Structure 1
Amino acid sequence: MALKTTRRSLLAGAAALPAAAAAASAASSLQGESAPDLSGTSILITGASSGFGRLGAEHYASLGAKVFATMRNMPRPEAEELRQLAADKGYDIEVIEIDVTRPRQVEKGVRKAEEMAGGAIDVLINNAGISYAGPIEMQDMKATEHTFETNVFGPHRMALAVLPGMREKGSGLIFQVTSQLGRIIVPAYGQYSPTKFALEAMGEQMAYELAPKGIEVCMIEPGGYPTEIWENSRRRTETLLERTPEELQATYAEMMGGIMEAGGASRETDPMDIPRAIAEIIAMPKGERPLRRGVHPTRIPQAAINQVCEQTQVAVLEGIGMPAIAKAVYNR
């Protein structure tokens, strides 16, 4: 990322960007006029057994990328299915075991991917994530630690593993798959929002620190999509309820009833929006990629927050003598 690149004007007007306009723009971008070419790009994805990770592995490979699809608890049917798909379609997909909560497995898996790639990984997609539903008071330390280990410490471990190679190469791109709930709060989603807020903050700080190294960071903020995370969350929440005192459950009975019914039932959206948005950003010229991209066909409620945050951060960075970093990170 060239630090001398001129930043496009972002501060015109004091009003925040209306969410509806941002949603329309994002929907148009998702559809795109032509598929990007990712030939020669090495991409490592966590949580590739299902959801955005599984869809992304196939999509990026179909665009020519060399994909390292990682997942935990191998051997497992999802790994064999992905290997068979790669063989049938001639895709360059390698399936590697990585549980992001296990430091030694992260280090071993990343080193294996780098050896197979012949050098540093070009793109890391921190996609793996989990959730337990319920108010914070019902989130015991077992659930809390599990959520932070997966959603925050896991991406941190992955970044630590790939960054030496990226720094030596002088380039790289890290995606943090966060959420709308990493910028706004909806009650009774447990530690999900706190962890996604943390992932957003970690990604933004990394963006500032890594810009001089030629490495970019982008937060992808999905809205509601029908992926396996909802059913997985329901199962985890049921185990949490089994060890939650009945008196405490009764205190939040109405709230829990609503959140358990909500799940992913009404999400008539296309999960492929996420891989398409990520592929589009990968294909952008270095130095022109966005720090954040909200993704949903109709609702991006965090758009105004993102714009205010951007304005504030640019002012802060310029005020403390870091205008080059402000220009590099917010070059749009």
Structure 2
Amino acid sequence: MPTIDRRSLLAGAAATTALAAGAARAQPDRVAARPDLSGKSILITGCSSGFGRAGAEHYARLGAKVFATMRNLPRPEGEELERLARDEGLDITVLELDVLDDDMVARAVSQAEGMAGGALGVLVNNAGIGISGPVEVQDMEATRLAFDTNVFGYYRLARAVLPAMRARGGGQIFAVSSQLGRVIAPYAGHYSANKFAVEAMFEQLAYELVPHNIDVTIVEPGGYPTKVWVNRNVYTAALRDRAAQVHKDGYPDVVARMGLEDGSGRTADVMDIPRAIAQIIAMPPGTRPLRRAVSGGSIPQEEINRVTAATQLAWLGGSQRVGPLVRAVHG
């Protein structure tokens, strides 16, 4: 069977329907057990721990040229990753990047593009924070920090890499979202609001980047035992201590637990996320999924993803102007 990609789906409505069905059937057979990422240049945010650190090692071991970024260099985590790269002969470059800083984002992307010899092949937007508690208790300091990191940080990186990707005529962008980008848990602060925004922003980007041969995939992890729990407790405890009492009074039991969450009981394999991303990178351009749910447990958002894809197709799939873009992504 010849390779079917979503670019060919732009040819017309009739061809779109037939080819999309073929692509959906063919995709599972194209995922290699051990993907070969040789020749891929990958920039990852948030590599001091968790999915970012695990991903940097994994992609490099599969042959990729990796730019692992983190804040506040020099720091032990960066030195440890550089030492591992030297010991194992991995192509990993550690770069300083704070996703809150426009100038630092531009500088890190420019450095990576220079070392890669042109446009980056892949961006993995991963850096993020959590601040839990009732929505009413979230003050503007916590609210701004959460949105600036989890939403605007992803946006800064996407805008920084896109001009070179478009000029080259291809590329790939990942947004690490969450189950809570599609379902909502009470008392999780603005985390769902952040991740819902990420889901919408990067789905829109997926449509708009079809003509430029740039794929977008939103990865939706469940709960994993990463350092996010430790960091979240620090941010949340600080919020609890400074929040106005008039807002805390409505939720005494919840406020008493803020900053004391324990994620140690989670046993899912953190490597699930890097493995899923590597497999998607290795798929032929134009066949990669818009969303990939990854979890060591339940995946409650699968039905939501199915319904929203069908809704988009029913609403805009027949449009002469944007229908081909929507059909291409959801094919």
- Tell me, yes or no, whether TM beats 0.5: yes
Match of 1:94 in 2: 93
1:48 aligns to what SS in structure 2?
coil
* Cα distance in structure 2, aligned partners of 1:263 and 1:306: 29
Q: How far 1:296 moved relative to its partner?
A: 0.6
Equivalent of 1:3 in 4, 7, 12? 7
Give structure 1 regions of 4+ aligned residues with deviation exceeding 6 angstroms: none
Match of 2:139 in 1: 140
* Cα distance in structure 2, aligned partners of 1:267 and 1:180: 15
Q: How far 1:155 moved relative to its partner?
A: 0.7
Q: What one-letter code is carried by the residue in structure 1 that aligns with 2:7?
A: L
Alignment check: 8 A CA contact 2:151 2:198 kept:
yes
Alignment check: 8 A CA contact 1:4 1:324 kept:
no
Find out whether 1:329 has 2:303 as its counterpart. Answer: no
Q: How far 1:43 moved relative to its partner?
A: 0.3
1:159–1:33: structure 2 CA closer, same or farther, 3 Å change rule? closer
Q: How far 1:244 moved relative to its partner?
A: 1.5
* Cα distance in structure 2, aligned partners of 1:103 and 1:58: 27
Q: How far 1:259 moved relative to its partner?
A: 6.3
Match of 2:165 in 1: 166
1:298–1:249: structure 2 CA closer, same or farther, 3 Å change rule? same
Q: How far 1:257 moved relative to its partner?
A: 4.7
Q: How far 1:251 moved relative to its partner?
A: 2.1
Alignment check: 8 A CA contact 1:184 1:302 kept:
yes
* Cα distance in structure 1, aligned partners of 2:72 and 2:126: 16
Q: What one-letter code is carried by the residue in structure 2 that aligns with 1:72?
A: R
Find out whether 1:283 has 2:296 as its counterpart. Answer: no
2:280 aligns to what SS in structure 1?
helix
* Cα-Cα RMSD: 2.0
Match of 1:225 in 2: 224
Alignment check: 8 A CA contact 2:43 2:122 kept:
yes
* Cα distance in structure 2, aligned partners of 1:308 and 1:34: 30
Alignment check: 8 A CA contact 2:46 2:127 kept:
yes
1:52 aligns to what SS in structure 2?
helix
Q: What one-letter code is carried by the residue in structure 1 that aligns with 2:282?
A: A
1:251 aligns to what SS in structure 2?
coil
1:247–1:323: structure 2 CA closer, same or farther, 3 Å change rule? closer
Q: How far 1:261 moved relative to its partner?
A: 5.2
Match of 2:69 in 1: 70
* Cα distance in structure 1, aligned partners of 2:255 and 2:38: 47
Query: Which stretch shifts more, 293-302 or 52-61?
Result: 293-302
Match of 1:268 in 2: 267
Q: How far 1:318 moved relative to its partner?
A: 1.6
Match of 1:185 in 2: 184
Q: How far 1:2 moved relative to its partner?
A: 4.4
Alignment check: 8 A CA contact 2:206 2:215 kept:
yes
* Cα distance in structure 1, aligned partners of 2:194 and 2:37: 31
Match of 2:13 in 1: none
Q: What one-letter code is carried by the residue in structure 2 that aligns with 1:225?
A: Y
Deviations 1:202-224 (A, max 9, x none): 00000000011101100000000
* Cα distance in structure 2, aligned partners of 1:221 and 1:318: 25
1:47–1:167: structure 2 CA closer, same or farther, 3 Å change rule? same
* Cα distance in structure 1, aligned partners of 2:246 and 2:160: 44
Q: How far 1:89 moved relative to its partner?
A: 0.3
Deviations 1:57-103 (A, max 9, x none): 00000000000000011111111000000000000000000101000
Q: How far 1:120 moved relative to its partner?
A: 0.2
1:324–1:248: structure 2 CA closer, same or farther, 3 Å change rule? closer
Deviations 1:12-39 (A, max 9, x none): xxxxxxxxxxxxxxxx99xx87211000
1:250–1:216: structure 2 CA closer, same or farther, 3 Å change rule? same
Q: How far 1:247 moved relative to its partner?
A: 4.5
* Cα distance in structure 1, aligned partners of 2:49 and 2:150: 16
* Cα distance in structure 2, aligned partners of 1:155 and 1:266: 29
Length, aligned pairs only: 313
Alignment check: 8 A CA contact 1:180 1:223 kept:
yes
Alignment check: 8 A CA contact 2:233 2:261 kept:
no
Greater RCO (CA < 8 Å, at least 6 residues apart)? 1
* Cα distance in structure 2, aligned partners of 1:172 and 1:279: 14
Q: What one-letter code is carried by the residue in structure 2 that aligns with 1:44?
A: L
* Cα distance in structure 2, aligned partners of 1:256 and 1:9: 52
Alignment check: 8 A CA contact 1:317 1:325 kept:
no
* Cα distance in structure 1, aligned partners of 2:156 and 2:6: 27
Deviations 1:122-174 (A, max 9, x none): 00000000011111111000000001110011111101110000000110110
1:34 aligns to what SS in structure 2?
coil
* Cα distance in structure 2, aligned partners of 1:152 and 1:33: 32
Alignment of 1:1-332 (within 5 A): 2-5=6-9, 6-8=19-21, 34-257=33-256, 262-321=261-320, 322-331=322-331
Q: How far 1:250 moved relative to its partner?
A: 3.6
Alignment check: 8 A CA contact 1:43 1:124 kept:
yes
Alignment check: 8 A CA contact 1:291 1:329 kept:
yes
Alignment check: 8 A CA contact 1:55 1:275 kept:
yes
2:21 aligns to what SS in structure 1?
coil
Match of 1:20 in 2: none
